[in-house]
């Protein structure tokens, strides 16, 4: 069988609800690699929060982080480092505007460094994965350079109002998404970036055409890559728009959905 590129979202897809990779899925992915296929991760997480899974699967491929804003090869610097941050002046304007709405906090990440607008012990717990440098202070005055991404944690009733403002004022320079429940979070990156942009860099490197790309996802930040891949596979636990976009629906992240699909599709049993 010709070489395929297998692309894995992490949360809600590769990872079970307890944030682990099931034994069956791990074995199936290792068998796919042994059969000559390439396996890669494409996630909204920063690298520091995905490295452990990259190593657990013994991957040797580039990785897409921050929904395409950062693409690199952890084991080969010569492959290229593709980092496309947001413009700092736009970030300051967004922070200014957020003060017209009810929000809890704003987080900016510069690769693996984390900057909180307000000190927040709960967010510190969430963002401390991978042991990053974490600082707190007014993002308008102490953010040192263009951030890779930005998160706005707001009142549920305010999320769509803030998103409307972002679309009305900054549509040409940023893209934004809403996190899935229970988080009322808006995620912002530079315009034109998504997982598919990063995956294309990797597929071009390996010379693997779209019709031999199999991508798995569950949330709206997976839509572009599911459309880009020749075979887009939605997890059963995925949102409706993912189900509608994908070519196939497999079992949930807690039911070895990735393994079930690949065992059949790539004859890995």
Q: What is the 3-state secondary structure (H, E, C) of the chain?
A: CCCCEEEECCECCCECCCCCCCHHHHHHHHHHHHCCCEEEEECCCCHHHCHHHHHHCCCCCCEEEHHHCEEECCCCHHHCCEECCCCHHHHHHHHHHHCCCCEEEEEEEECCEEEECCCCHHHHHHHCCCCCEEEECCHHHHCCCCCCEEEEEECHHHHHHHHHHHHHHHCCCEEEEECCCCCCEEEEEECCCCHHHHHHHHHHHHCCCHHHEEEEECCHHHHHHHHHCCEEEEECCCCHHHHHHCCEEECCCCCCHHHHHHHHHCCCC
User: Model's pTM, two decimal places?
Assistant: 0.94
pLDDT at residue 1, rounded to an integer: 83
Average pLDDT of span 105-119: 95
Q: Calculate the average pLDDT of the chain.
A: 95
Q: Each residue of 38-51: pLDDT tens digit?
A: 999 999 999 999 99
Instruction: Please report the pLDDT score of residue 179 as a whole number.
Output: 82
**Predicted local confidence at residue 127, as pLDDT:** 80
| Contact (CB, 8 A) for 150 and 108 | yes
Name the percent of the chain lying above pLDDT 70. 100
pLDDT at residue number 255 = 98
Q: In angstroms, rounded to a whole number, what is the distance separating the alpha carbons of residues 227 and 73?
A: 24
Tell me the mean pLDDT in the region 197-222. Answer: 97
**Confidence at residue 178, expressed as pLDDT on a 0 to 100 scale:** 87
Residues labelled catalytic: 9
Give the span between the Cα atoms of 150 and 94, in whole angstroms: 10
Sign of the four-CA dihedral 200, 203, 204, 210: negative
């Amino acid at each position: 069988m010709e070489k395929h590129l297998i692309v894995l979202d992490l949360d809600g897809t590769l990872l079970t609800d307890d944030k682990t990779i099931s034994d069956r899925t791990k074995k199936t992915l290792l068998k796919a690699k042994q059969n000559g296929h390439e396996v890669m991760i494409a996630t909204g997480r920063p690298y520091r929060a995905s490295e452990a899974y990259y190593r657990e699967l013994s991957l040797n491929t580039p990785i897409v982080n921050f929904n395409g804003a950062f693409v690199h090869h952890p084991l080969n610097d010569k492959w290229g480092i593709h980092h496309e941050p947001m413009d700092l002046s736009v970030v300051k304007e967004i922070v200014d505007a957020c003060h017209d709405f009810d929000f809890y906090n704003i987080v900016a990440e510069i690769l693996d460094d984390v900057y909180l607008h307000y000190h927040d012990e709960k967010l510190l717990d969430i963002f401390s994965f991978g042991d990053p440098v974490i600082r707190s202070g007014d993002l308008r005055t102490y953010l040192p350079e263009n951030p890779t991404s930005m998160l706005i944690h707001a009142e549920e009733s305010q999320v769509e109002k803030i998103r409307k403002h972002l679309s009305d004022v900054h549509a040409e320079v940023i893209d934004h998404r809403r996190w899935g429940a229970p988080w009322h979070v808006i995620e912002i990156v530079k315009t034109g970036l998504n997982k598919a942009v990063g995956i294309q860099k990797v597929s071009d490197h390996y010379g693997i055409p779209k019709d031999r790309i199999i991508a798995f996802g569950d949330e709206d930040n997976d839509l572009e890559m599911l459309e880009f891949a020749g075979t887009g596979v939605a997890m059963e636990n995925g949102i409706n728009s993912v189900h509608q976009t994908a070519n196939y629906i497999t079992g949930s992240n807690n039911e070895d959905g990735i393994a079930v699909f690949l065992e059949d599709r790539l004859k890995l049993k």
